[in-house]
Copies of this chain bind each other. A is one copy, B any other.
C-alpha cells in the first residue's frame, strides 16, 4: 500500500538544497550543532528565502514546532533518509591514477553510506600495488568483485578514450550506476544511472569571474 509515501521523483535542485542544509546542520568544525534551528536561521546560512526552506522540509516530511523551529536531529535524519545515506551501498573505483587514488582513500564517503570495496586498473605496472587500504586489481577481477560484494556503483577515473569501454565492462559486470569523472559522455542502457562530475564547470565559473574582475 504505502500511501502517504511520496513516490514522485525529487528534483535535482531540491536534492542539492537538502545537501546544503545537511552540510550546515552537521556543524562547522568548532561550532557544534544546536538542538533546534528555525527556518530563518537555515535560510540565512545558505542565503535563501525562509519560506523555501520550510517548503523543502515539508516536502521531505519534517514537521516544525511553532515558536521553536525544527529539531536538528529530525532534519538531519530526514535528509539522510531521503538521500539514502542510511541505505548503504558498495562501489568500486576504476582507474588508479591520482584522482582515482584520492577518491578511493577519501574518508568522508562512509558516513554518507558509500563503501569502496575495490580499486581497479589495467596497467600491468600498477596491478598489485598498495594504495591506502586497497590493492590495485586488474579489470578481469571486476565481475567477481561486483558479484561477491553486491557492488552497485562504478566510479570512473580513467582517461577519456578508455571511458566508454570501461563503462561497458562495468555495466556487463552488473553495476547499477556510474559516477563519471572523465570529461567524455557515455552511452549506457537506460536502467543504469550516470552522473557526470564536470570539474570544468567549476573552472568556467572561476574563469568568468576572474576575467570580469580584471575587466574594469
Q: Which residues of A come within 8 Å of B, CB atoms?
A: 9-10, 12, 15-16, 18-20, 22-24, 28-30, 82-85, 87, 89, 97-99, 101-102, 105-106, 108-109, 112-114, 152-153, 160-161, 176-177, 179, 183-185, 193, 195, 197-214
Cβ of B114 and Cβ of A83 under 8 Å apart? no
Cβ of B207 and Cβ of A83 under 8 Å apart? yes
Number of identical monomers bound together in the oligomeric complex: 2
Q: How far is the CB of A46 from chain B (nearest CB, A)?
A: 9
Q: How many angstroms from the CA of A24 to the CA of B177 in the assembled complex?
A: 22
Cβ of B97 and Cβ of A102 under 8 Å apart? yes
Residue of B nearest to A99 (CB): B102
Interface of A is mostly: helix
Q: How many angstroms from the CA of A18 to the CA of B208 in the assembled complex?
A: 12
Cβ of B208 and Cβ of A83 under 8 Å apart? yes
A193 neighbours in B (Cβ, 8 Å): 206, 209-210, 213
Q: How far is the CB of A144 from chain B (nearest CB, A)?
A: 21
Residue of B nearest to A104 (CB): B98
